[in-house]
A and B are shown apart, each in its own frame.
Chain A
Amino acid sequence: MKSEYAARPSGGRSTSTSRSARASRRQLKLYLFCYLGLLPTILLFVILRVRPLFSTLQLSFYNWNMIKPIKPFVGFDNYRALLKDDLFLLSLRNTTLFAFGTVIMTAVLSLALASALSGRRKMSAFYQVVYFIPVVTPMVPVSIIWKWIYDPGYGLLNYILSFFGIEPVGWLTYPNLALFSIIVMCIWKALGYNMVMFLVGLKAISRQYYEAAAIDGASGWKSFRYITLPLLKPIILYVLVTSTIDAFNVFTPVYVMTTGSQGAPGNAVRTLVYNMYEDGFRYFKMGYASAQAAVLLLIVLVLTVLQFAFLRHEDTSSQGP
């Protein structure tokens, strides 16, 4: 336990009232220092985070188009309507496919890359930088480049595939393919981040574990399965949780890639946030859009809890008899 300054018994065993009074005055001054110091942060926190979060939940029970001053309370009507809203259900499906597609594929690929690179210091430094270039590039230019790569008429991808005798494909124009194409782009963008995270984790695993395992005759896949994976679990957990949450909030690539005649058909890649944006800021159905935001919040919460629970369960089962 770390000793905290203000927590120390003030004045020791002294019984002198003046001393203890001075000490408690000092204690009060310290409290004041802490509360005053935290005040700006707490105020910002309440105004910028807590209040909007509660307003989301509150708004979701109202029917409001932003123009009219009256806001009729409708209870759970917005939520009930969501269950019958085809576009919302489609967005939910697309977002789920997108999130699991990108997160799982990125994690698997980057884990393989990181394992290949770990222990090769020089090579690793070079590849980390190269694989990180898409990570530092913001989403809008990335989406623009990939939209051009996916172009059915003059795109680079169709050109490369033509060497293998594959006919030109409308990557963004076929509904299911469009979602897949955006997934591939997002894997490309996130690969380097995941890879570096896993490399950091791998570096922390002591060489001795592998040496001991080698003596016991375990190497290759076995040592990966029984040493690397369990010891990497905290980082895998962190990466999975954060990237799943990010993936469920995907908006920018969808927004960029659905614009224009060469873009993806809107509904094919419609995601939760995109649907919410349209309902809220194109049709001004603020209450309805807020209900969607609340659903999004719920999904994020459930996912976080599930992933933590899942990994914890794995942990105990692997340590069992």
Chain B
Amino acid sequence: MRSTATRGDVILRHRRAVFSPGGIAVQVILAAGALTMVLPFIWMLSTSFKPPAEVISWPPRFIPLHPTVKNYVDAMKAAPFFRFFINSFLVSGISTLSILLTSSFSGFLFAKYRFPGRDIIFIAILATAMVPFQSYMIPFYLFMRDLGWLSTYQGLVAPLLIMSFGIFFMRQNILSIPDELMDAARIDGCSEFGIYTKIILPLSKAALSALSIFAFRNAWSDFIWPLLITNDINLYTMELGLGMFQHRFTVDYGCITAGSVISVAPILVVFAVFRRNIIEGITLTGLKG
């Protein structure tokens, strides 16, 4: 009796909290935080439509007096943003595909089979999951140079072909697939590889899609490696292209923000459509690990 009454009390108190003075303060803080999250983007968008004189007018206005698309025309003329986009898409796409393949298949083998050396190999791979690329990028650069892969797509994508963490992540997910399903398939004459394609892959769709979002974003936001390996503007990824672009137009903020909008817009559109999947892909991939 007593406990149910208290439980009711707790829930009531919880409901009321939204309208209490403390609750209102929380609301105000959350809303102010949300505004802080969005304001820089609005400011970027607003600047990108301003003619030069308005960019450096004081006080600044959020809605341009004489909106213009000239900054966009100039930006597109000054740098091949479409090309950057395609390059980023290619590099991220190939990286993601390779990571999905290697992670899911080796994750499957690590999770479902026992063979000599399995645990040692697995731990060795896992141990490098925390190691940052920056700590071995110099030999990697020299290695690419020796192969003659500087300023090539192969060179650009090489460090992104595997992800130790992805292997670990897929293994954890595949562990939860019941062995009985595999045994049943074996009785039906399914080969071991067939088990991978017909049972494991379809059953780990959720994990694969989370990992692909994680890997794609990872590759897309890479900056230091493209900076090291490419001199050729035709191979610049979006991140590097935009970085070099702002290098050249250091103070022309109308043009620079237009370039930034061009590079950010596709990402934000994709985020607007797949927001739940993307949030889960980026956060859950970490948590399952």
Contacts and interface: CB of A to CB of B under 8 A. Distances in A.
B40 A149 contact: yes
A68 B15 CA distance: 73
B1 interface: no
Given A134-B37, A142-B40, 18 more contacts: A31-B115, A37-B109, A45-B128, A52-B143, A56-B138, A134-B40, A138-B238, A140-B239, A140-B263, A146-B40, A148-B44, A156-B39, A159-B60, A256-B246, A277-B224, A281-B228, A286-B138, A293-B138
Interface of A: 2-7, 30-31, 33-35, 37-38, 40-42, 44-45, 48-53, 55-56, 59, 66, 113, 116-117, 119-120, 123, 127-142, 144-146, 148-149, 151, 153-154, 156, 159, 162, 188, 191-193, 196-197, 200-201, 210-211, 214-215, 235, 238, 241-242, 245-246, 248-249, 251-252, 255-256, 259-263, 273, 276-277, 280-281, 286, 289-290, 293-294, 296-297, 300-301, 304
A122 to B, nearest CB: 11
Interface string B20-48: 00000010011001101111110110010
Contacts of B193: 33
Contact of B256 (A144, A277, A294): A144
B65 interface: no
Nearest to A32: B115
Contacts of B41: 133, 137, 145
A110 to B, nearest CB: 10
Given A2-B175, A129-B279, A137 B37 contact: no
B128 to A, nearest CB: 5
Given A132-B279, A148-B253, A188 B36 contact: yes
A280 to B, nearest CB: 5
Interface size classification for chain B: 35 or more
Contacts of A262: 250-251
Interface centre among A146, A245, A252 (most CB of B within 10 A): A252
B105 A197 contact: no
A290 B286 CA distance: 30
Interface string B128-139: 101111111111
